[in-house]
Amino acid sequence: MTTQRILVVDDEESIRFTFEAFLGDAGYRVDTAAALAEALVLAGDNDYDAIFLDILLGRESGMKVLQFMHERNPNCPVVMVTGAPEIATAAEAVRLGAYDYVTKPVRQEVLLRIARQALARKALLDQQETSRLRMAAVFDSIREGVLVFDEEFKLVEFNTSARKMLGCTEECLGKSLDELAARSHCSVLRQFQEVVAQRCMGEIYNLSATNADDEPISFSLTMSPLTSQTGRETGVVLVLRDESQAQASAG
Task: Give the CATH number of the domain where residue 153 resides.
Answer: 3.30.450.20
- 240 vs 24, more confident: 24
Whether residue 182 sits in one domain with residue 131: no
- 146 vs 208, more confident: 146
Whether residue 193 sits in one domain with residue 94: no
Whether residue 98 sits in one domain with residue 63: yes
- 73 vs 85, more confident: 73
Whether residue 66 sits in one domain with residue 51: yes
Tell me what the mean pLDDT of segment 176-188 comes to: 71
| CATH number, residue 22 | 3.40.50.2300
What's the Cα-to-Cα distance from 85 to each of 60, 78, 98, 99, 196, rounded to whole Å? 16, 16, 14, 15, 55
**Residues 81-94: tens digit of each pLDDT:** 887 666 566 667 77
**Cβ atoms < 10 Å from Cβ of 119:** 18
Q: What's the pLDDT band for 1 if we cut at 50, 70, 90? A: very low
- 66 vs 167, more confident: 66
- Examine the pLDDT at 2 and tell me if it is beyond 60: no
Last residue of a domain, one of 80, 114, 138: 138
Whether residue 245 sits in one domain with residue 156: yes
The number of residues making up the chain comes to 251
- Examine the pLDDT at 65 and tell me if it is beyond 70: yes
Last residue of a domain, one of 100, 115, 138: 138
Percent of the chain with pLDDT over 70: 82
The residue segments making up the domain with residue 34 are 5-138
Tell me what the mean pLDDT of segment 111-120 comes to: 96
The b/e string for 62-82 (b: 16+ C-beta within 10 A; e otherwise) is: bbbbbebbeeebeebbbbbbb
Whether residue 200 sits in one domain with residue 178: yes
**Residues 30-41: tens digit of each pLDDT:** 999 999 999 999
Whether residue 119 sits in one domain with residue 91: yes
Whether residue 146 sits in one domain with residue 96: no
Q: Using CA atoms, how far apart are residues 192 and 57, in angstroms rounded to an integer?
A: 59
Q: What's the pLDDT band for 176 if we cut at 50, 70, 90? A: confident
Check residue 199 and give its pLDDT. 61
Whether residue 233 sits in one domain with residue 175: yes
Least confident of 105-119, 153-167, 185-199: 185-199
Strands 29-33 and 5-9: parallel
Check residue 187 and give its pLDDT. 60
Q: What is the dihedral of CA 59, 62, 64, 69, to 10 degrees?
A: 160
Whether residue 80 sits in one domain with residue 15: yes
User: What's the structural domain count of the chain?
Assistant: 2
Tell me what the mean pLDDT of segment 158-175 comes to: 83
- Examine the pLDDT at 16 and tell me if it is beyond 90: yes
Q: Using CA atoms, how far apart are residues 154 and 173, in angstroms rounded to an integer?
A: 7
Whether residue 168 sits in one domain with residue 47: no
Least confident of 15-19, 25-29, 224-228: 224-228
Last residue of a domain, one of 138, 171, 205: 138
AA letter at 7? L
Mean pLDDT of the residues in the chain: 83
Whether residue 224 sits in one domain with residue 152: yes
Task: Judge residue 149's burial from the number of C-beta atoms within 10 Å of its C-beta, 0-12 exposed, 13-18 middle, 19 or more buried.
Answer: buried
